[in-house]
A = this chain, B = another copy of it.
Amino acid sequence: MGNASETEHRIREAAFRALVKHGYADLSLTDIGNELGQNPSIIYHYYDSKDDLLFSMLETFVDIFVDGRGDRPITDPEQELREMVDHVLQTEDKNDILPDSSTDMRTAISRMFVELWTHAIWDDDFRRETTEIELRLKEIFTKTIRAGIERDQFRPVNPERTADHILFLLKQGIYTRVTTNRDDATERVHSIIDELIDDL
């Protein structure tokens, strides 16, 4: 890993910690600089703007969520579908962006994800970004389901529609967990998706 990407990594970590403390609305480059222990101007060597930095965090989290699956050949569609669901809804022990992935930290990541995503309501640039991520996730699920149908592992459902169904439930599980006190939200979503995959 080169020096530049190490610094970018440190900046994203600092921005994440600042975001968890201050929330999106109040987040400033000064806060990020404080977390980084450096003059915030360094951020502009790597990112065009605060939004550019936040976009890059969204993308990093999506990469973690899908675990680079978009590029790999599919060998066991059902198993890979289930692994992606597990991967998004919980509880992975290792995590690219943050060494400490305790429950609190995972909650913080989910909160940040929803916070950034929701900012797309008011910001066209963010909305282009969330749309791209949405379609990227959908495409990965669609490809996996299509592969399962081709190998007779799944019955001949509409792959895009089933991909949407799983994606909507996954996102909503995270959303409901961080916006309500329903602690059973991700567990409930997990069992609904499991049943949906059992039925494929």
A residues lining the B interface (CB < 8 Å): 23-25, 111, 114-115, 117-118, 120-122, 127-128, 130-131, 134-135, 161, 164-165, 168-169, 171-173, 175-176, 178-182, 188-189, 191-192
Across the interface, which residues of B come within 8 angstroms of A24, CB to CB?
Answer: 25
Alpha-carbon distance A191/B166, docked complex (angstroms): 14
Which chain B residues lie closer than 8 Å to A161 at the CB level? 188, 191-192
Cα–Cα, bound, A136→B27 (Å): 34
Docked pose: A114 CA to B171 CA in angstroms: 14
Question: A121 near B115 (CB under 8 angstroms)?
Answer: yes
* Contact status B188-A134, CB under 8 Å: no
User: Given the complex, which residues of B lie within 8 Å of A23, measured CB to CB?
Assistant: 121-122
Q: Give the docked Cα–Cα distance between A180 and B121 (Å).
A: 8
Cβ contacts A to B, 25 pairs, < 8 Å: A23-B121, A24-B25, A111-B121, A114-B121, A115-B121, A117-B179, A118-B118, A118-B179, A121-B179, A127-B179, A127-B180, A127-B181, A130-B179, A134-B176, A134-B182, A135-B182, A161-B188, A161-B192, A164-B188, A168-B173, A168-B176, A168-B189, A168-B192, A169-B169, A171-B175
Q: Which residue of B lies closest to A188 (CB)?
A: B164
Q: For residue A1, give the distance in angstroms from its CB to the closest CB of chain B.
A: 32
Closest CB-CB distance, A171 to chain B, in whole Å? 6
Bound CA–CA A111/B121 (angstroms): 7
Say yes or no: B180 contacts A130, CB within 8 Å. Answer: yes
Q: What chain B residues lie within 8 Å of A165 (beta carbons)?
A: 169, 192
Distance in angstroms between the alpha carbons of A50 and B181 in the assembled complex: 22
Give every chain B residue within 8 A of A128 (Cβ-Cβ).
Answer: 181
Contact yes or no, B169 A176, CB < 8 A:
no
User: A168–B190 Cα gap in the complex (Å)?
Assistant: 12
B residues in contact with A115, CB < 8 Å: 118, 121
Instruction: Give chain B residues whose Cβ lies under 8 Å from the Cβ of A168.
Output: 168-169, 172-173, 176, 189, 192
